Amino acid sequence: MEPELHPDLEPLKFLLGAWEGAGVGGYPTIEDFRFGQEMSFTHIGKPFLIYASRTWMLEEDGSLGRPLATESGYWRPRPDHQVEVMLAHPTGITEIYQGNAAFNRVELQTDVVARTESAKEVTGGTRLYGLIGEDLGWAYDMAAMGQKLQSHLSAQLKRVG
């Protein structure tokens, strides 16, 4: 049985569900690439969303290649359309984002980035999520490895299921 949506989640309701699609990535320290992605936003009736994302390299023929990144976390709405997002990566990085959600769009910027001794140096980021028609588009700008904040990933996903 699906739990009732907590009223605080109303500004983030458009994110709910499972999404799949493709995107592009690049950064000065790596070769440009194409990736496939699965993303999900679920809830349990409490005032937060449960988030998970997995990506794979897309081969030239469009088939899925080797696994790339995965991340998971929680999205917490706050008063006045504010939102807090906590993300964890198995590569030893955790991020806390703050931003706002309105009109089927969420804009976020890092408040804190913490990393283990073995993790790569990531110092900040911004993320944008929003509906493009029925699709979910998102973009991630990153500051890492001595580079200034700049475009790293973007994708367009379709709702599935």
Which whole-number Å values give the CA distances from 144 to 45, 98, 116, in the listed order? 36, 19, 14
Using one digit for the tens of pLDDT, what is the confidence trace for 52-76?
999 999 999 989 999 999 999 999 9
pTM over 0.85: yes
Query: Is the Cβ–Cβ distance between 106 and 98 less than 8 Å?
Result: no
Query: Is the Cβ–Cβ distance between 17 and 159 less than 8 Å?
Result: yes
Using one digit for the tens of pLDDT, what is the confidence trace for 100-158?
999 999 999 999 999 999 999 999 999 999 999 999 999 999 999 999 999 999 999 99
- φ, ψ of residue 92 to 5 degrees: the values are 95, 15
Longest dimension (CA), the chain: 48
3-state secondary structure of 103: coil
Using one digit for the tens of pLDDT, what is the confidence trace for 37-50?
999 999 999 999 99
DSSP state of 48: S
pLDDT score at 130: 98
Dihedral sign computed on CA atoms, order 105, 110, 116, 118: positive
